[in-house]
């Protein structure tokens, strides 16, 4: 293994151990939240809503809840880890090391994406307790899982670098991320929207994620999954590039 | 072999504030180099520029020949830094913190674990290896910073006020350890407020003030720039102080005690005694005291302050934008002349 690989591995190891060793903060909350979501939206309300495009309501909302859990955790992991490191200045341990800028970005993004991916998997596991999942296109499911968690881990890196207070992290999570998810077709079908609302929804990246994961799990999608993959991949490349530029400039880290 | 540290006209500006002003310094490989200066002199800014925590505004900075920005990976790999502030990962036991740090430098996991144990033993906190940073005492935290700097086996060890606020025992332990490291070949850059520390440890010291280099010299050279005081006890109280030759910069009489300020007390004393006896003074005792490095330091930085203030005032009145020149001249004796 090369020196650079060992450097990257060390950063990923540190980042993964940080969330693995705190399951009450990282794994348990999304599990409980999703049991509640499935119980209320799936079982109690879902029985009154009936089916959407031939799938039960609980099956319909499941992909959206997987996306919600996965991206929230990917974003939160990267943003918190970086911001907390800045706040307490121990991010200097990384910055003063010979890790390249690109490997530093890779370390934070990959570890955070992994957390999002694991949480997404756990939510699918919870979903199994409430309904059946056909996994119509597993490769698409994995692809969308990887790309969405990577994208939001990258956004989390930006959030962690630009935040100046813990409040800013809350603002990003609650006032930006959550509305995008709720208006991203998690709980309703885009077909129910009129022309303007439908068009506006297409500007929301969440719509592509939710539909892509829904296609992978249920085989149904309101948007061509390949189009979604292209849009999300392009967005991810842009975000990772921004990450790299920020680290190169030492934004939020160096004076 | 290129110098361990080489900066040329290094500048760092924070808006209007110039934290480093055309700072040119060279620290040779294997040297124990001290950076002295009052608070705000720019010592920490200088260090942070080398390790990538501060981006320079202008000039050049190299570590073992590697530019700190263009070749940042090689430059940072050579440096171990123990900062002034506690900036340690609070999430992990300290042994793991050290393993991670070694890993960031590309050390294989097995070796990183061995090194972590080794440096924890070396700084004397091995029994605390499974504790987290927050649970350590102040002195142990200071030791851990040193351990973290050492775990990557650096060629250049930077210690930013390592003994600030620590007890005497720890201070001596640290002195012993860094002396050992220097003898083993590690180049050491030490910033400190404690003049005694610099005098005891450093091959050369640079005195900084307001982002400028005031002077660079060995502690002995610096002390040589000060004057000595020969205190002579007289058998009887004379009416007035004697007229002495030009070797006496200042003569003060206080009762039966005469104090004469000279360049080199050891060589001047016999001549002074002869002169006093020739003038009829009876001598009871004699004592020579050297100017301390601390006095030299205060004198140099105060003179620099006056120089900067004067230059600023002149610039303001003349509309002249010329820079204040570096002050690298001896203190007191050349400035004040003969009393």
Residue A34 sits at φ, ψ, to 5 deg, of -75, -30
| pLDDT given at position B194 | 78
Are residues B107 and B123 located together in one domain of the fold? yes
Q: Assess whether pLDDT exceeds 90 at residue B132.
A: yes
Contacts of B101 in chain A (CB under 8 A): 93, 97
- Tell me the average pLDDT across A59-84: 93
User: Is B104:A11 a contact under the CB 8 Å cutoff?
Assistant: yes
Burial class of residue B298 (count of CB atoms within 10 Å of its CB; 0-12, 13-18, 19+): middle
Contacts of B53 in chain A (CB under 8 A): 92, 95-96, 253-255
Are residues B98 and B186 located together in one domain of the fold? yes
What residues form DSSP beta bridges with B33?
Answer: B189, B204
Kindly indicate the confidence band of residue B38, based on its pLDDT and cuts at 50, 70 and 90: confident
Domain final position from B177, B201, B219? B219
DSSP per-residue string spanning chain A:
--HHHHHHHHHHHHHHHHHHT-HHHHTHHHHHHHHHHIIIIIIIIHHHH-EETTEEHHHHHHHHHHHHHHHHHHHHHHHHHHHHHHHSSTTHHHHTS---HHHHHHHHHHHHHHHHHHHHHHHHHHHHHHS----S-HHHHHHHHHHHHHHHHHHHHHHHHH--SHHHHHHIIIIIIHHHHHTTTSSS-GGGS-HHHHHHHTT-HHHHHHHHHHHHHHS--SS-HHHHHHHHHHHHHHHHHHHHHHHHHTTTT--
Domain final position from B219, B241, B262? B219
Are residues B122 and B241 located together in one domain of the fold? no
Q: Assess whether pLDDT exceeds 60 at residue B218.
A: yes
Percent of chain B, pLDDT > 70?
A: 89
Domain count, chain B: 2
| pLDDT given at position B317 | 43
Structural domain contains residue B302:
no
* Pairing mode of beta strands B156-160, B187-192: parallel
Kindly indicate the confidence band of residue B22, based on its pLDDT and cuts at 50, 70 and 90: very high
What is the rounded end-to-end Cα distance, in angstroms, of chain A? 34
Q: Assess whether pLDDT exceeds 50 at residue B257.
A: yes
Identify the contact set of chain A against chain B, taking CB-CB distances under 8 A: 1, 3-4, 6-7, 9-11, 13-14, 17-18, 21, 85, 88-90, 92-100, 250, 253-255
Are residues B144 and B247 located together in one domain of the fold? no
Structural domain contains residue B297:
no
Residue in chain B closest to A20 (alpha carbons) equals B91
CB within 8 Å: B53 and A100: no
Contacts of B105 in chain A (CB under 8 A): 7, 97-98
| pLDDT given at position A160 | 96
Q: How many Å lie between the alpha carbon of A18 and the closest alpha carbon of chain B?
A: 7
Could you report the per-residue pLDDT of A77-130, keeping only the tens digit for each?
999 999 999 999 999 999 999 999 999 999 999 999 999 999 999 999 999 888
Q: Assess whether pLDDT exceeds 60 at residue B330.
A: no
Residue in chain A closest to B112 (alpha carbons) equals A10
| pLDDT given at position A55 | 83
Are residues B158 and B261 located together in one domain of the fold? no
Residue in chain B closest to A93 (alpha carbons) equals B101
Are residues B172 and B254 located together in one domain of the fold? no
**C-alpha neighbours within 13 Å on the C-beta side of residue B313:** 6
Contacts of A7 in chain B (CB under 8 A): 103-106
Of the candidates A11, A93, A255, the beta carbon closest to that of B54 is on: A255
- CATH code: domain of residue B168: 3.40.50.300
Three-state DSSP at B267 gives helix
Residue in chain B closest to A249 (alpha carbons) equals B55
Kindly indicate the confidence band of residue B310, based on its pLDDT and cuts at 50, 70 and 90: very low
Contacts of A12 in chain B (CB under 8 A): none
Structural domain contains residue B323:
no
DSSP per-residue string spanning B27-40:
E-TT-EEEEE--TT
| pLDDT given at position A155 | 95
How far CA B195 is from CA of A2, B134, B214, B296, in Å, comes to 45, 31, 16, 10
Contacts of A83 in chain B (CB under 8 A): none
Are residues B107 and B234 located together in one domain of the fold? no
Of the candidates B90, B91, B104, the beta carbon closest to that of A11 is on: B104
Between helices A205-218 and A57-87, what is the axis angle to 10°? 130
Are residues B104 and B28 located together in one domain of the fold? yes
CB within 8 Å: B103 and A13: yes
| pLDDT given at position B188 | 97
Q: Assess whether pLDDT exceeds 70 at residue B97.
A: yes
Beta carbons within 10 angstroms of residue A52's beta carbon: 17
Residue in chain A closest to B111 (alpha carbons) equals A6
| Domain around B258 | 227-289
Structural domain contains residue B299:
no
Choose the weakest-confidence range: A16-20, A163-167, A244-248.
A163-167
Three-state DSSP at B264 gives coil
Kindly indicate the confidence band of residue B197, based on its pLDDT and cuts at 50, 70 and 90: confident
CB within 8 Å: B92 and A3: no
Kindly indicate the confidence band of residue B127, based on its pLDDT and cuts at 50, 70 and 90: very high
Q: How many Å lie between the alpha carbon of A244 and the closest alpha carbon of chain B?
A: 15
Residue in chain B closest to A14 (alpha carbons) equals B100
- Tell me the average pLDDT across B27-51: 93
Highest mean pLDDT among A179-183, B142-146, B164-168, B279-283: B142-146
Query: What's the mean per-residue pLDDT of chain B?
Result: 85
Burial class of residue B113 (count of CB atoms within 10 Å of its CB; 0-12, 13-18, 19+): middle
CB within 8 Å: A93 and B88: yes
| pLDDT given at position B305 | 60
Kindly indicate the confidence band of residue B141, based on its pLDDT and cuts at 50, 70 and 90: very high
Report the residue of A5, A96, A103, A250 to disrupt the B interface, i.e. the one with the largest count of B CBs within 10 Å.
Answer: A96
Sign (positive or negative) of CA dihedral B170, B175, B177, B178: positive
Q: How many Å lie between the alpha carbon of A111 and the closest alpha carbon of chain B?
A: 15
CB within 8 Å: B104 and A10: yes
Sign (positive or negative) of CA dihedral B199, B201, B203, B207: negative
Structural domain contains residue B314:
no
Tell me which residue has tokens 């969308």. Answer: A144
Contacts of A6 in chain B (CB under 8 A): 103, 106-109
Could you report the per-residue pLDDT of A160-216, keeping only the tens digit for each?
999 998 888 888 888 888 888 888 888 777 777 777 888 888 888 889 999 999 999
Structural domain contains residue B311:
no
- CATH code: domain of residue B266: 3.30.70
Q: How many Å lie between the alpha carbon of A250 and the closest alpha carbon of chain B?
A: 8
Of the candidates A4, A10, A98, the beta carbon closest to that of B100 is on: A10
Residue in chain A closest to B44 (alpha carbons) equals A255
Of the candidates B52, B85, B105, the beta carbon closest to that of A95 is on: B52
Choose the weakest-confidence range: A25-34, A181-190, A236-245, B36-45.
A181-190
Are residues B42 and B182 located together in one domain of the fold? yes
Structural domain contains residue B300:
no
Are residues B232 and B162 located together in one domain of the fold? no
Q: Assess whether pLDDT exceeds 80 at residue B304.
A: no
Could you report the per-residue pLDDT of A37-62, keeping only the tens digit for each?
888 877 788 777 777 777 888 888 89
| pLDDT given at position A223 | 86
Which residue, A89, B143, B122, is CA-closest to B131? Answer: B143
User: Is A83:A156 a contact under the CB 8 Å cutoff?
Assistant: no
Contacts of B88 in chain A (CB under 8 A): 90, 93
| pLDDT given at position B98 | 97
How large is the ipTM?
A: 0.90
Identify the contact set of chain B against chain A, taking CB-CB distances under 8 A: 14, 45, 48, 51-55, 72-74, 76-77, 79, 81, 83, 85, 87-92, 96-97, 100-109, 112, 148, 152
Kindly indicate the confidence band of residue B245, based on its pLDDT and cuts at 50, 70 and 90: confident
Are residues B213 and B278 located together in one domain of the fold? no
What is the rounded end-to-end Cα distance, in angstroms, of chain B? 49
- Tell me the average pLDDT across B12-34: 94
| pLDDT given at position B220 | 82
Cα gap B94→B117, rounded to integer Å: 10
Are residues B184 and B266 located together in one domain of the fold? no
Structural domain contains residue B194:
yes
């Amino acid at each position: 293994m090369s020196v650079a690989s060992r450097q990257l591995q060390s950063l990923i190891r540190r980042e993964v151990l940080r969330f693995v060793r705190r399951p009450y903060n990282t794994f348990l909350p999304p599990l409980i939240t999703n049991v509640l979501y499935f119980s209320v939206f799936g079982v109690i309300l879902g029985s009154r809503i009936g089916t959407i495009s031939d799938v039960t309501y609980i099956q319909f909302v499941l992909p959206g809840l997987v996306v919600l859990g996965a991206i929230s955790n990917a974003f939160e992991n990267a943003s918190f880890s970086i911001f907390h490191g800045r706040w307490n200045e121990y991010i200097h341990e990384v910055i003063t090391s010979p890790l390249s800028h690109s490997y530093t970005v890779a370390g934070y993004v990959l570890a955070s994406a992994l957390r999002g991916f694991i949480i997404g998997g756990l939510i699918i596991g919870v979903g199994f307790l409430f309904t059946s999942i056909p996994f119509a296109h597993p490769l698409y499911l994995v692809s969308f899982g990887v790309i969405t968690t990577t994208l939001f881990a990258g956004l989390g890196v930006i959030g962690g670098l630009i935040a100046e207070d813990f409040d800013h992290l809350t603002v990003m999570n609650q006032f930006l991320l959550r509305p995008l998810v709720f208006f991203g077709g998690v709980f309703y079908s885009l077909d129910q929207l009129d022309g303007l609302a439908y068009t506006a929804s297409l500007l929301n990246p969440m719509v592509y994620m939710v539909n892509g994961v829904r296609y992978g799990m249920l085989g149904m999608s309101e948007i061509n999954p390949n189009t979604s993959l292209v849009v999300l991949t392009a967005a991810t490349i842009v975000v990772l590039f921004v990450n790299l530029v920020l680290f190169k400039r030492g934004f939020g880290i160096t004076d | 072999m290129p110098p361990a540290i080489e900066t040329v006209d290094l500048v760092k500006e924070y808006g209007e504030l110039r934290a480093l002003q055309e700072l040119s310094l060279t620290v040779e490989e294997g040297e124990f180099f001290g950076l002295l200066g009052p608070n705000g002199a720019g010592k920490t800014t200088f260090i942070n520029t080398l390790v990538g925590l501060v981006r320079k505004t202008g000039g050049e900075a190299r570590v073992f020949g590697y530019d700190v920005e263009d070749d940042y990976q090689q430059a940072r790999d050579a440096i171990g830094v123990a900062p002034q502030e506690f900036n340690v990962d609070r999430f992990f036991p300290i042994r793991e913190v050290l393993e991670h740090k070694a890993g960031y430098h590309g050390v294989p996991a097995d070796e990183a674990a061995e090194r972590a144990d080794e440096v924890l033993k070396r700084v004397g906190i091995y029994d605390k290896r499974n504790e987290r940073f927050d649970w350590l005492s102040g002195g142990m935290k200071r030791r851990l910073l040193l351990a973290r700097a050492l775990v990557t086996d650096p060629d250049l060890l930077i210690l930013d006020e390592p003994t600030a606020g620590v007890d005497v025992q720890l201070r001596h332990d640290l002195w012993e350890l860094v002396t050992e490291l220097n003898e083993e070949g590690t180049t050491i850059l030490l910033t400190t407020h404690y003049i005694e520390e610099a005098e005891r440890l450093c091959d050369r010291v640079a005195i900084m003030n307001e982002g400028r280099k005031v002077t660079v010299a060995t502690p002995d050279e610096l002390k040589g720039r000060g004057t000595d005081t020969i205190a002579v006890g007289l058998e009887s109280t004379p009416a007035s102080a004697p007229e002495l030759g030009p070797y006496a910069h200042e003569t003060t009489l206080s009762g039966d005690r005469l104090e004469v300020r000279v360049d080199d007390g050891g060589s001047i004393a016999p001549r002074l005694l002869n002169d006093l006896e020739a003038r009829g003074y009876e001598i009871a005792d004699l004592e020579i005291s050297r100017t301390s490095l601390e006095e030299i330091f205060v004198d140099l930085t105060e003179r620099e302050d006056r120089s900067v203030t004067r230059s600023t005032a002149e610039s303001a009145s003349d509309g002249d934008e010329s820079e204040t020149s570096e002050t690298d001249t001896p203190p007191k004796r050349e400035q004040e002349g003969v009393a």
